Structure 1
């Protein structure tokens, strides 16, 4: 399955022809994205907690039941024959306030004013070679959101502005209230697909009543607390339609990069069925509190209801690195890792007598599908090799935290470098503690 970054592009020609162009994809390839030409409307499920005055039903006569059925016949409401309280269930209670008529609208109102549309231009191009007439470069449109209203700092996807960054052109940023600003691209990290843009404006002065007030900004949430099935809203400018919103749920909280065809992905994605289309890239994915939990990034090609967002906690780490160093310093491990699923573990156990058959009893829950991180290959003289780790080892702990998959392992290491790390691996039937130092990845 091919996945494409969501970025709308068009070329400014005399005929004003409009075309959609693809964005950044891992590996550096670019693909043409087709605009969505059809829309599906799904019925919105409404859960009714109670009816009437809220009094609990216990014993009701047959005559009362008959009257109730006749009274509500015009509403097509089925009155159950058994109105005694239902038996207790073991599932945990649903937390949070019930979903009301304006719950989603209020979430949009909290984040919406800080959502922006970003238009950028690539370098001018020549029609007939080096000495031919030059035409304006392709324009691209995406989304973003303001994270600092005083400084005018905007967060977006790198593939939204990377062409303008390479050409040295500024970008145009417009808010929901109609105001527009020129934006300077401060930093771009194509590996994480995150960029920081700073709006060119007079900085606000609290002591000057005539000074411009701070711009609206979003509140960043905690993506580690997301749950499958939780409601989210994608905000942005799909197909250049500014100030658009689409509703969906969290389909998966940690969809690993290799599962969606991204080679070398060091982080997991949030999967959602909220509609994310060309132009949504860089826009916020917000929860019902209006807090940003992700950055809309891409969708499955030729599919509906399969979209992906960067977790906001991952973006926070990248932003901190960009502000502190101007680039992202990533640790280099020198090994290839795989999430050890139970099916894979059972297969390896059948083929190798030394494979730990009892790993799930001590290091993972009984019904867990993920049991740890399998070391597939180790680079000679690499950091992991120097620690004594070997192919076939199973990493089950980093520091004091148990690790069940590669996303957790890499997230625990984060972007820290020049630091000592202790891990616990299972080798055969023994658990071993190994230590190594994280060094920055200096490969080009």
Structure 2
């Protein structure tokens, strides 16, 4: 059965070669930044890394890990026939460590239909196919060791992994995890480089939810319910008869949001999202980062000590609320500048106010997004609104600063 599965889908697993231009010096958003400094730009160096991918569509769409192609200037895909083709990066999702590439060729392509990971059982036989250490197509077998694993790496939480004892080494990232029938049930990821007998894969059901968005929009459309929360006091949880450390209190309901239309109000205690118990504000925000547009979300909450349940459909964050979001999260009011956006007002109780940002400062970058105008800034803030913090590049009197700002939500 393993041999049949490999023969059936092996040609659809490809090798990936990502080329990056790296620099050991400080990087600035554009070349003209260097005009204000006495030193010139460092000489860029070429760096290559390897990985794997899975062709999921006969049109040439390939599913892989985001970290395989991160910051790549060129991506090459190697087919089983030996041919190597340059690939276009269609979209990537850092949160789920997934990316979509596309290759174009006149030759018919083998591809794997996505199966289901919802019915996996611990002990079930699985097959991993990838390109470990750049050696070429390699098959290993094992069993499902655990489900729903959450892993903390470099201050990032990766959740809901399939854990397996099938060997998943560097170069396997982005490869296929199959069941014994040869159905795609996960995307392998070598997140622990020195792990022995421990491999992880992103469940294919988790990947399915974002593939269409990545192909259609080149990004994942983060869902919005219109709920902001805070940690409840011990007195409140005691009064509601809730064990300490369970639930978060609604602190704000956004206008015209799914939550407002459903009748939710500040002061209610949310105890679960989609059957997952919420024990803290951090857990609530973690759950929200996994919700995409049009997801149905079940919220359990307490109202006057009575447990209730409601279903909401997540929608996209309305762009017209972006200025209010900026004030709520960062304590800043902005206007467009000749280049970048200019701070016009600062909430002195916010972190921005406490560290000394002020009127006239220019914002030129938010995380990975270059900010040329207000639309750029607001779109980047909307995309990053559920993060714990953002990094902005500030220009003040021809001096440039990198500033990390926590988000107040």
Task: Tell me the secondary structure at the aligned position of residue 183 of structure 1.
Answer: strand
**1:156 matches 2:64:** yes
> RCO (CA 8 Å, sep 6+): is it higher in 1 or 2?
1
**Does the 8 A contact of 1:125 with 1:137 survive in 2?**
no
Q: 1:162 to 1:305 in 2, by over 3 A?
A: same
Q: What do the CA deviations read for 1:349-386 (whole angstroms, capped 9, x no partner)? A: xx9474358xxxxxxxxxxxxxxx95335453456985
**1:191 matches 2:95:** yes
Listed as ranges, the matches of 1:19-98 within 5 Å are none
Q: 1:261 to 1:156 in 2, by over 3 A?
A: closer
Listed as ranges, the matches of 1:324-363 within 5 Å are 324-333=216-225, 334=227, 352=238, 354-355=240-241
Task: Tell me the secondary structure at the aligned position of residue 187 of structure 1.
Answer: strand
**Does the 8 A contact of 1:395 with 1:426 survive in 2?**
no
**Does the 8 A contact of 2:247 with 2:277 survive in 1?**
no
Residue 141 (structure 2) aligned to one of 244, 247, 272: 247
Residue 140 (structure 1) aligned to one of 29, 36, 49: 49
Task: Tell me the secondary structure at the aligned position of residue 138 of structure 1.
Answer: strand
Report the Cα distance in structure 1 between the residues aligned to 2:123 and 2:63, rounded to whole angstroms. 26
**Does the 8 A contact of 2:99 with 2:214 survive in 1?**
no
What value does the CA root-mean-square deviation take over the aligned residues? 3.8
Task: Tell me the secondary structure at the aligned position of residue 116 of structure 1.
Answer: strand
Residue 201 (structure 1) aligned to one of 105, 110, 115: 105
Report the Cα distance in structure 2 between the residues aligned to 1:424 and 1:279, rounded to whole angstroms. 42
Considering fraction of residues, name the structure with more strand. Answer: 2
**1:292 matches 2:184:** yes
**Paired position in structure 1 for 2:129:** 235
**Paired position in structure 1 for 2:214:** 322
Report the Cα distance in structure 1 between the residues aligned to 2:266 and 2:163, rounded to whole angstroms. 33
Report the Cα distance in structure 1 between the residues aligned to 2:175 and 2:297, rounded to whole angstroms. 35
**Paired position in structure 2 for 1:112:** 10
**Does the 8 A contact of 1:158 with 1:194 survive in 2?**
yes
**Paired position in structure 2 for 1:393:** 270
**TM-score (normalizing by structure 2):** 0.61
**Does the 8 A contact of 2:230 with 2:250 survive in 1?**
no
**Does the 8 A contact of 1:222 with 1:313 survive in 2?**
yes
**Does the 8 A contact of 2:228 with 2:253 survive in 1?**
no
Task: Tell me the secondary structure at the aligned position of residue 143 of structure 1.
Answer: strand
Report the Cα distance in structure 2 between the residues aligned to 1:275 and 1:389, rounded to whole angstroms. 49
**Paired position in structure 2 for 1:176:** 80
**Paired position in structure 1 for 2:120:** 226
Q: Mean Cα displacement is larger for which, 293-302 or 221-230? A: 293-302
Residue 123 (structure 1) aligned to one of 21, 25, 40: 21
Report the Cα distance in structure 2 between the residues aligned to 1:420 and 1:229, rounded to whole angstroms. 31
**Does the 8 A contact of 2:170 with 2:193 survive in 1?**
no
Task: Tell me the secondary structure at the aligned position of residue 314 of structure 1.
Answer: helix
Report the Cα distance in structure 1 between the residues aligned to 2:205 and 2:296, rounded to whole angstroms. 23
**Does the 8 A contact of 1:355 with 1:428 survive in 2?**
no
Tell me the number of residue pairs that the alignment of Structure 1 and Structure 2 aligns: 291
Q: What do the CA deviations read for 1:143-197 (whole angstroms, capped 9, x no partner)? A: 0011123x12211111111221xx3x3x221122322222122222222211111
**Does the 8 A contact of 1:375 with 1:391 survive in 2?**
no
**Does the 8 A contact of 2:268 with 2:301 survive in 1?**
no
> Offset at 1:217?
1.0
**1:438 matches 2:310:** no
> Offset at 1:240?
1.1
**Does the 8 A contact of 1:337 with 1:374 survive in 2?**
no
Task: Tell me the secondary structure at the aligned position of residue 110 of structure 2.
Answer: coil
Q: 1:429 to 1:377 in 2, by over 3 A?
A: closer
**Paired position in structure 2 for 1:425:** 301
Task: Tell me the secondary structure at the aligned position of residue 277 of structure 1.
Answer: coil
Gaps of 5+ in 2: 26-38, 318-381, 385-409
**TM-score (normalizing by structure 1):** 0.56
Residue 416 (structure 1) aligned to one of 280, 293, 309: 293
Q: 1:262 to 1:228 in 2, by over 3 A?
A: farther
Q: 1:238 to 1:131 in 2, by over 3 A?
A: same
Q: 1:392 to 1:185 in 2, by over 3 A?
A: same
